Amino acid sequence: MALADLGWDDYFAGHFEQLKDGDLIPARVAEEHRNSYRVLTVNGLLSARVSGRFRHEACGYSEFPAVGDWVAIRLRPQEGKATIHHVLPRKGKFSRAAVLAGKTEEQVLAANVDTAFLVSGLDHDFNLRRIERYVTIAWDSGAGPVVVLNKSDLCEDVDAIVEQVETTVLGVSVCAISATESEGIDRLTPFLTPGTTIAFLGSSGVGKSTIINRLLGEERLKTSAVRQSDSKGVHTTTRRELLPLPTGAIVIDTPGMREIQIWSEASGMDRSFGDIDALALGCRFSDCSHLTEPGCAIQQAIADGDLDAKRFQGYQKLQKELHYLRIRQDQKAHRREVKEWHKKISRTLKEREKMRDKGVY
């Protein structure tokens, strides 16, 4: 398998050349485990760990390799394994806020994703607000979102639901399919071009693994039936995994997430809720809270039926999350600055000790 088949391009090649180390070779992270990784190279799949120096210098979990990352590795031929020394700069990353080791940190779910298939079931799992949230996070990741409405065989009026979603996530492709019946799968084909990376995201039980099995042409990933009473699924997929498709595209399967805490910049909100921001420009007061002020264009749009009140409530909820996220990010930036300062002091002291040992002073 050539590097280009794994998504390698001039962007990553340019950053790899800057390392100027002939012993290193490029690889792409295919699986992430607790203390190890499996990486894809031109010669196949290898088990790998990060170097001690990498672990020591990393300032947070988000700096460690994630599935989809391109890394620079050094082979350990005698063991048939490799050591990861660098993570190449990412084109983008699909992240969420998570509590790791008692602190709210950025958790990178997948890196260098070109297209995000946001899968929702046309059963009890269907939730417009959750779709909005996923689309917002996808825009921030640098990936193009595509909403995949699975289980069309269980829905009485598919066209009406598709129209509802399309008017909610403006400018985003919406594909209705039935993976179990193998209906509509060809609607995903235009996105599966060679070298393109697609991440599948959605709740447990929406059928992500079943869809991927259809695209692979074999039952490689384990699947489970959902609970009939509420369509909730079990966590059949327990890890993120990168898989090459026969079409030449690469897919990343992820465990189901019923709720995903946003780790986002304002750009995703701008693209997902541009209509609400445009309405806000028409408010009488520039600092309008859009609650009880006279001349509020948003409240008027809700009263006139031009804006769904639930959509606006979802917008407010995400804005509130972003506000608290920025506070946590500022605290993290401060911790990072303190850590870098301590590193600098430590290096200075070591240099002085070396000079003193040489008798310079």
CATH number at 112 reads 3.40.50.300
Which of 89, 116, 148 finishes a domain?
A: 89
Q: The pTM is what?
A: 0.74
67 within domain boundaries:
yes
By 3-state DSSP, what share of the chain in percent is helix, strand and coil, each rounded to 5?
Answer: 40, 25, 40
Which of 200, 223, 253 finishes a domain?
A: 253
Bridge pairing between strands 103-111 and 70-76: unpaired
Full DSSP string of 145-186: EEEEEE-GGG-S-HHHHHHHHHHHSTT-EEEE-BTTTTBSGG
Are residues 84 and 151 both part of a single domain?
no
Range in 90-94, 147-151, 261-265 the model is least confident about: 261-265
Query: What pLDDT, on the 0 to 100 scale, is given for residue 333?
Result: 57
- Residues 212, 167 contacting (CB under 8 angstroms): no
343 within domain boundaries:
no
Which whole number is the average pLDDT over 72-94? 92
Structure confidence at residue 266 as a pLDDT band (50, 70, 90): low
94 within domain boundaries:
no
Distance separating alpha carbons of residues 51 and 42, to the nearest angstrom: 21
337 within domain boundaries:
no
Distance separating alpha carbons of residues 266 and 62, to the nearest angstrom: 19
292 vs 183, more confident: 183
Which whole number is the average pLDDT over 65-91? 94
Structure tokens at 234: 């079990």
265 within domain boundaries:
no
Which whole number is the average pLDDT over 70-83? 92
Query: What pLDDT, on the 0 to 100 scale, is given for residue 49?
Result: 96
| Number of domain units in the chain | 2
Are residues 24 and 156 both part of a single domain?
no
Are residues 241 and 142 both part of a single domain?
yes
Contacts of residue 322, defined as CB under 8 A and 6 or more positions apart, other chains included, come to 262, 264, 266, 269
Query: What pLDDT, on the 0 to 100 scale, is given for residue 47?
Result: 95
Instruction: For residue 196, give the nearest of 156, 249, 267 by alpha carbon.
Output: 249
Are residues 15 and 135 both part of a single domain?
no
328 within domain boundaries:
no
Are residues 84 and 127 both part of a single domain?
no
Are residues 159 and 243 both part of a single domain?
yes
Distance separating alpha carbons of residues 311 and 241, to the nearest angstrom: 33
**Residue 343 DSSP class:** H
> What domain range includes position 112?
108-253
292 within domain boundaries:
no
Are residues 62 and 131 both part of a single domain?
no
**pLDDT tens profile 45-60:** 999 999 999 999 888 8
Instruction: For residue 170, give the nearest of 57, 270, 36 by alpha carbon.
Output: 270
Are residues 153 and 33 both part of a single domain?
no
**pLDDT tens profile 269-321:** 667 777 888 888 888 888 888 888 889 988 898 888 888 888 888 888 777 77
161 within domain boundaries:
yes
Query: What pLDDT, on the 0 to 100 scale, is given for residue 230?
Result: 46
Structure confidence at residue 160 as a pLDDT band (50, 70, 90): very high
H or E stretch at 66: none
Kindly tell me if the per-residue pLDDT of 207 is higher than 60: yes
Are residues 85 and 135 both part of a single domain?
no
Are residues 166 and 220 both part of a single domain?
yes
Name, of 111-115, 232-236, 281-285, the range with top average pLDDT: 111-115
129 vs 232, more confident: 129
- CA separation (Å) from 297 to 98, 132, 191, 278? 36, 22, 38, 10
CATH code (residue 52) = 2.40.50.140
Structure confidence at residue 327 as a pLDDT band (50, 70, 90): low
Are residues 17 and 51 both part of a single domain?
yes
Are residues 13 and 150 both part of a single domain?
no
Which of 236, 253, 270 finishes a domain?
A: 253
**pLDDT tens profile 27-45:** 999 999 888 999 999 988 9
